[in-house]
Structure 1
Amino acid sequence: MSLVRSGNVFDPLSLDFWASADPLGVVRPLAEQCPVLTNVRVDWKETPDAHVFRADLPGVGKEAAKVEVEDGDVLVISGERPAREEAGKDDVKWRLVERSSGGRFQRRFRLPRGARLDQVRASMEDGVLTVTVPKEEVKKPQVKAVEISG
């Protein structure tokens, strides 16, 4: 028996996890007529200064990837992966296919409070998309000593 991770059913931090149980329709698919592939692997780490997302997008150019912030607190990483060129050729027989190709992808993450959405940065290098969302500076409370009389 094998356990296969399908989509984001085991990822409660991803909004894809909640899409099927969304009575208010807040989580919307990219397009109703085309299925959206959600098998893009994303790592999310929090540093003292920022939230950093790293998405593995092999074979996807930076022009085909898109990073957006929706509804003020939802980070959306989406795009389209190119199809295999040999798909229509009769003399090609695939023996093993483990990497997905050809289709739209989308991942959605609800950002915590304190994210600086006006300063989101994204870069792509070697098939890895890195999105950095800076955090607001945590203000330390001012402590003032009060003299006790009496």
Structure 2
Amino acid sequence: MSLIRRGDVFDPFSLDLWDPFSFGSGSGSIFPRTGSETASFAGARIDWKETPEAHVFKADVPGLKKEEVKVEIEDGNVLQISGERSREHEEKSDTWHRVERSSGKFLRRFRLPDNAKTEQIKAAMENGVLTVTVPKEEAKKTDVKPVQITG
């Protein structure tokens, strides 16, 4: 298992560190293959911040409709964000001079910490940004119980 380090910060919750479903046919890629091409849109940029109340994920998904994006919880604590941007329909009379906008599938997974309330997740899209808010449980105060010392 190879670890990916971003700016010398190890992220123990990102599942981008390994390839659980063998996308890429042993190529070592974490990106799914679609037909014979690797999805160029696969690396959807996602920020994850933690506030006192929640874990907040923001994903750049420009040009996608909310119906083209899925937010799911797998195995109780894995947040999965996926979607697909279709290639533009090509007419026989069209002449393409440049194709820079990416198309394809993307899939990102994040293992949520134990304090995540997965049953209360909310997702919203505005101006090409998907915001997923995962509320956190309040920190449990530990009870201090004195122990009698004998002897």
TM-score (norm 2): 0.71
- Aligned-CA RMSD value: 2.9
**Which residue of structure 2 lines up, in the alignment, with residue 70 of structure 1?**
74
Inter-partner Cα distance in structure 1 for 2:137 and 2:144:
21
Asked if the contact 1:9–1:17 (Cα under 8 Å) also holds between the matched residues in 2, the reply is yes
**Which residue of structure 2 lines up, in the alignment, with residue 100 of structure 1?**
102
Percent identical pairs in the alignment equals: 52
Per the alignment, do residues 88 and 132 of structure 1 end up closer, same or farther by CA in structure 2, a change over 3 Å counting? farther
Inter-partner Cα distance in structure 1 for 2:22 and 2:86:
20
The within-5 A match list for 1:1-150 is 9-10=4-5, 13=11, 14-19=14-19, 27-28=20-21, 34=34, 35=38, 37-86=41-90, 90-94=94-98, 97=100, 99-101=101-103, 103-142=104-143
Inter-partner Cα distance in structure 1 for 2:48 and 2:131:
10
Amino acid at match of 1:113: D
User: How big is the shift at 1:90?
Assistant: 4.2
Number of residue pairs aligned between Structure 1 and Structure 2: 128
Inter-partner Cα distance in structure 1 for 2:92 and 2:139:
56
Q: CA offsets per residue over residues 84-139 of structure 1, 9 Å max, x none? A: 34586542210x62x422x1111000111111011011000001000000111112
Inter-partner Cα distance in structure 2 for 1:75 and 1:88:
41
User: How big is the shift at 1:30?
Assistant: 7.8
Asked if the contact 1:30–1:106 (Cα under 8 Å) also holds between the matched residues in 2, the reply is no
Other structure's SS at 1:16 match: helix
Other structure's SS at 1:115 match: coil
TM-score (norm 1): 0.72
Inter-partner Cα distance in structure 2 for 1:91 and 1:74:
44
Asked if the contact 2:60–2:128 (Cα under 8 Å) also holds between the matched residues in 1, the reply is yes
Other structure's SS at 2:16 match: helix
Other structure's SS at 1:83 match: coil
Other structure's SS at 1:63 match: helix
User: How big is the shift at 1:17?
Assistant: 2.3
Q: Which residues of structure 1 form unaligned runs of 5+?
A: 1-7, 20-26, 146-150
Inter-partner Cα distance in structure 1 for 2:83 and 2:102:
14
Inter-partner Cα distance in structure 2 for 1:111 and 1:137:
15
